[in-house]
Chains A and B, each alone.
Chain A
């Protein structure tokens, strides 16, 4: 029987994959996409929770997450564009200014 816990487990797996992606990849855009993946994993968890508890609150949150993710994607990609124009690179290794 597939229950909520299955969905939550799937969500966890997706989240972990996304996290690994953020850590491991060099290309900034792919890192960004991994972040989107993580967000979607969270959305799945919320929807599963809404289903489990019978309230619409979970889905409302998903609504907002999507909106914010869209805004974030717009701005973030604009930043990447500007970055690329200045540095001619999108490799995360070469954009390390906070070196301690």
Chain B
């Protein structure tokens, strides 16, 4: 089925300048197509054929995608370095010299991404069949979920910017649909709306960046938005243009990947079902921004200032979100801010030029964050929809599997050596230090400590000690069924071993992951001595262990420790708990003025002016008509008078000589 003819890639764009080898692989299109077909099934037949059918089709579709993704991945891995699989499906946009096609391309970078998306996606679909089993909108849920998979895969597989944007928008839409899944609750519906609107701002910036890029490239004679072309010609772009485009695209990434300033939608997004939080807001969609920057590494490298900005924002976000996470009491909110924080780490990596490290962290984060979210879902499910950790405790007795897997996740995210999180986080910090970004490095270390702290706090308050909720809930608490626990176990295993593909040189490995990704994102040599690297490792591990220790001490001894802190730090703690009231700030500074402008436009421009014109012309027509109407008196003599006057006028005109 796959044609082994090697051809110069011309997947899209007339002036493509890439010379990488490409292999046609017509099966690529089925990777996003399978979930799309699944969605159609759910929409058309879902409610008629029942839950089992829906579950089977949903998971089956993703399984097909996973199988094909594996095949593609193995093909790329086995092929010479730099080879990519392409599948040009059809010509989509064409205007003059420019063309953008629906064409899919799997190179090293996207092969990793599709494995993550389909693999973790499959596990979450499986989990959802049990988690959502009591919901009456079962088919609708899986329709949205499959649609999301399709969109995300299009995003990752597309070989040009417009096609990626299609996927970008698609995942945004599905995010909105799934966050507001239980739309009957106005708060949940609002959360969905908020996510969509904030994303939209980012999307606008994305588009502006794309336009800038295209305008500049077309000026230079390369009218194309294929990634290969962009990366190839990025260095010949004027500096200001490259910077502007890079920054605009990055703003788009802050929207999608929840960085400062557009992260505010992610904590609210926890209103959606937990599998949604796991899939979209932990493992896949939020990494789209990271993927995009990595994919366009050529452009960003051509604008070093942009990379600086990215690194700084990533670091700031990582730190800020961590501080907020310490003071949260909703199990999902803690994980949400943790996600924001970890995404900050990924951007830190990108910002210091270690693109492969960023993607590495994407992968490990997908494993352990999905694991943590699914575990939280399991707890919520088992404790009958309880989400406040102050009303939990001692859950490990009732839910052993959940407890064990969750613990693995906590250790992974805290950067305990031997687990995946350690390797990826460490590589990021080492890259920062090696690049001379000591400030970034320091922030990263602090963040790591805090991460360890609040995750341990979460773990202790949830699983250890005695249960602090009500009896009824405790009596009915139970472990989750197999479709939920199996994915937990698989993810736990991945969270443990997932890091071994990237064992750094210092520890004797050869960083297979980084090497594998090099053709796609460039090679990044650390240039540190083994001793320095080990030293850095020790520092970050120490920070992590310190955080764990302090939290363990505090919360196992006194689960109500938060109350003491609240008492002593009062204002600071409260504002941390309220996420520094950033939402209120946005509301006052941006939303309210916009509403006032909109209100003015409505009241004055629309109602008075435009409606005035419309109604006014009607009124004018009516009054003119009212005047003329009086001529139709019904009295024939009046009509005759009119005729007579007309005759008189004609005669007058003739005799004057004007007419006739």
Of residues 257 through 273 on chain B, the ones whose CB sits less than 8 Å from some CB of chain A are: none
A19 to B634, CA, bound (A): 19
Residues in A whose Cβ lies below 8 Å from that of B655: none
Are A92 and B644 in contact (CB-based, < 8 A)?
A: no
Chain B contact-residue range equals 10 to 19
Of residues 53 through 100 on chain A, the ones whose CB sits less than 8 Å from some CB of chain B are: 92-93, 96-100
Residue from B631, B632, B644 with most neighbouring chain A CB atoms (10 Å): B644
- Interface residue A22 (Cβ < 8 Å from any Cβ of B): yes
Of residues 603 through 660 on chain B, the ones whose CB sits less than 8 Å from some CB of chain A are: 629-637, 640-641, 644, 647
B428 to A: closest C-beta gap in Å: 86
Are A19 and B640 in contact (CB-based, < 8 A)?
A: yes
Proximity bits, A21-44, B CB within 8 Å = 1, else 0: 011100000010000000000000
- Interface residue A20 (Cβ < 8 Å from any Cβ of B): yes
Residue from B629, B630, B636 with most neighbouring chain A CB atoms (10 Å): B636
Write the chain B residue with the least CB distance to A98: B634
Are B634 and A20 in contact (CB-based, < 8 A)?
A: no
Are A20 and B644 in contact (CB-based, < 8 A)?
A: yes
A23 to B638, CA, bound (A): 7
A24 to B637, CA, bound (A): 8
Residues in A whose Cβ lies below 8 Å from that of B632: 98-100
A72 to B: closest C-beta gap in Å: 16
Dominant SS among interface residues on chain A: helix
Write the chain B residue with the least CB distance to A20: B644
Residues in B whose Cβ lies below 8 Å from that of A92: 635-637
Are A100 and B629 in contact (CB-based, < 8 A)?
A: yes
Are A22 and B631 in contact (CB-based, < 8 A)?
A: no
Are A100 and B637 in contact (CB-based, < 8 A)?
A: no
A30 to B: closest C-beta gap in Å: 11
Write the chain B residue with the least CB distance to A100: B632
Residues in A whose Cβ lies below 8 Å from that of B634: 96-100
Residues in A whose Cβ lies below 8 Å from that of B637: 22-24, 31, 92
A98 to B636, CA, bound (A): 9
Are A96 and B635 in contact (CB-based, < 8 A)?
A: yes
Are A19 and B631 in contact (CB-based, < 8 A)?
A: no
Residues in B whose Cβ lies below 8 Å from that of A22: 637, 640
A22 to B: closest C-beta gap in Å: 5
Write the chain B residue with the least CB distance to A19: B644
A100 to B635, CA, bound (A): 10
Write the chain B residue with the least CB distance to A24: B637
Are A100 and B631 in contact (CB-based, < 8 A)?
A: yes
Residues in A whose Cβ lies below 8 Å from that of B630: 100
Residues in A whose Cβ lies below 8 Å from that of B631: 100
Are A23 and B640 in contact (CB-based, < 8 A)?
A: yes
Write the chain A residue with the least CB distance to B629: A100
Write the chain B residue with the least CB distance to A93: B635
Residues in A whose Cβ lies below 8 Å from that of B629: 100
Complex A-B: 23 CB contacts under 8 Å: A19-B640, A19-B644, A19-B647, A22-B637, A22-B640, A23-B637, A24-B637, A31-B637, A92-B635, A92-B636, A92-B637, A96-B634, A96-B635, A97-B634, A98-B633, A98-B635, A99-B632, A99-B634, A100-B629, A100-B630, A100-B632, A100-B633, A100-B634
Beyond A23-B641, A100-B634: 8 further Cβ-contacts under 8 Å? Answer: A22-B637, A22-B640, A24-B637, A31-B637, A92-B636, A92-B637, A96-B633, A100-B633
Which residues of B are at the interface with A, using a C-beta cutoff of 8 A? 629-637, 640-641, 644, 647
The 3 closest A-B pairs by CB, nearest first: A100-B632, A99-B634, A98-B634
